[in-house]
Amino acid sequence: MAHQQHKPLSTAAPRFFYGYIVVAISFIIMAVIWGAYNAFGVLFKPILAEFGWTRAMTSGAFSLAWLIQGFLGVFIGRLNDRLGPRIVMTLSGFFIGLGYLLMSCINTVWQFYLFYGLVIGMGMAGAYVPLTSTTVRWFLGRRSMMTGIVTTGTAVGILILPPMTSHFISLYDWRVSCLILGGIVLVIVLVAAQFLKGEPSQAGLKPYGQDKKDDGKLVGTRREFSLEEAVKTRPFWMFTVNSFCLGFVAWIFMVHIAPHVTDLGMSEATAATVLATVGGFSVIGRLGLGILADRIENRKAYFIGFIMLPVAFFALMPATELWMFYLIAALFGFGSSAGILQPPMIAALFGLNAHGLILGVATLGYTIGGAVGPLVGGYIFDVTHSYQLAFLLCGIVAIIGAITVVYLKPAKPD
What are the tens digits of pLDDT across the range 332-381? 989 988 887 888 888 888 877 777 788 888 888 888 888 788 878 878 88
State what percent of residues in the chain have pLDDT above 90: 28
- Of 223, 197, 228, whose CA–CA distance to 358 is shortest? 228
| pLDDT reported for residue 210 | 66
Answer whether 271's CB lies under 8 Å from 261's CB. yes
Average pLDDT, integer, range 290-309? 86
| pLDDT reported for residue 327 | 95
Amino acid 134 reads T
Reported as a pLDDT band with limits 50, 70 and 90, residue 71 is: confident
The 10s digit of each residue's pLDDT in 397-411 is 999 999 999 888 876
Q: CA–CA separation, 38 vs 100, rounded Å?
A: 12
Q: Is the pTM of this model over 0.75?
A: no
| pLDDT reported for residue 118 | 93
Beta carbons within 8 Å of 102's beta carbon, 6+ residues apart: 111, 115, 119
Topology annotation, domain 227-405:
Growth Hormone; Chain: A; (1.20.1250)
3-state secondary structure 43-77: HHHHHHHHHCCCHHHHHHHHHHHHHHHHHHHHHHH
| pLDDT reported for residue 411 | 63
The mean predicted confidence, pLDDT, of the chain is 83
Reported as a pLDDT band with limits 50, 70 and 90, residue 299 is: confident
Whether residue 217 has pLDDT greater than 60: no
Whether residue 238 has pLDDT greater than 70: yes
CATH of 19-203, one of 3.40.50.300, 3.10.180.10, 3.30.70.1560, 1.20.1250.20: 1.20.1250.20
Domain residue extents for the chain: 19-203, 227-405
Query: Counting Cβ atoms within 10 Å, is residue 9 exposed (0-12), middle (13-18) or buried (19+)?
Result: exposed
- DSSP letters for 118-159: IIIHHHHTTSSHHHHHHHHHHBSTTHHHHHHHHHHHHHHHHH
Residue 272: C-alpha distances to residues 211, 255, 329 (Å): 47, 12, 11
- Of 316, 338, 340, whose CA–CA distance to 326 is shortest? 316
Hey, do 19-203 and 227-405 end up sharing a CATH topology, with the first three levels equal? yes
Average pLDDT, integer, range 149-168? 82
Whether residue 296 has pLDDT greater than 50: yes
Answer whether 239's CB lies under 8 Å from 411's CB. no
Q: CA–CA separation, 223 vs 285, rounded Å?
A: 30
| pLDDT reported for residue 260 | 82
Average pLDDT, integer, range 90-94? 94
Beta carbons within 8 Å of 97's beta carbon, 6+ residues apart: 123, 182, 183, 184, 185, 186, 189, 190
